[in-house]
Amino acid sequence: MNVRFRSLHKGLPAALLLAALSLVVPAQAADVNVSWVAADGTVVATRSMDLEALDGLEQGEIVTSTPWTSGRSTFSGPPLAVLANLEGGTPNRAVLRALNDFTAEVPSEDWTDHGIVLATRIDGKVPRVYEKGPYWLIYPVDSLGQPLEQKFVSRMIWQVDAVTFYLE
């Protein structure tokens, strides 16, 4: 398919106009697909959750710095423990997938010991994809000790579009 853009305003290329509009249009968070899988590999349940559904869950907040942000920011959204327990059972780990198919495996100890959240907002704003949105798994980096262990860094996955919980 050959698609061509033409100028919508004299002297302003259409691509530039579209880019400018993307800066003023509010961020639209996508759905995150959440699944629970039994030990035998059977999918027990799946949910497609939009921002409104995630906002309807218990909310957590982590104020911390990260290796990718300047200073401390406030990250808020449902704790991963809340998502894990939506369908019953006892998940022992979760695998999160990003929009680019990057995955991170997170043991249940991380959500029970560190209160990690699936951030839907950064400093009260819904992040766009280029701001590590729509959803970002956040750890309380400032309380994890220094130097920050690589295992935590590799688990702070952003642009999350799927979470799979594996039941014991």
- Contact yes or no for 144/121 (Cβ under 8 A): no
Residue 5 confidence (pLDDT): 39
Mean pLDDT computed over every residue of the chain: 85
DSSP state of 165: E
Residues 136-165 as b/e (b if ≥16 CB within 10 A, e otherwise) read: bbbbebeeeeeebeeebeebbbbbbbbbbb
Q: What is the pLDDT of residue 59?
A: 98
Give the pLDDT confidence score for residue 29 in this predicted structure: 63
pLDDT in tens, 45-103: 999 999 999 999 999 999 999 989 999 999 999 999 999 999 988 999 999 999 999 99
Q: What is the pLDDT of residue 33?
A: 96
What CATH fold (topology level) applies to the domain 27-167? Sulfite Oxidase; Chain A, domain 2 (3.90.420)
Give the start-to-end residue ranges of the domains of the chain.
27-167
Q: Report pTM.
A: 0.81
* pLDDT tens per residue across span 26-45: 445 689 999 999 999 999 99
Task: Please list the alpha-helical segments (H only) found in 7-128.
Answer: 14-24, 51-55, 80-84, 108-113
Mean pLDDT, rounded, for 7-32:
50
Model confidence at 113, in pLDDT bands (50, 70, 90)? very high
pLDDT at 12 over 50: no
pLDDT grade, residue 151 (50/70/90)? confident
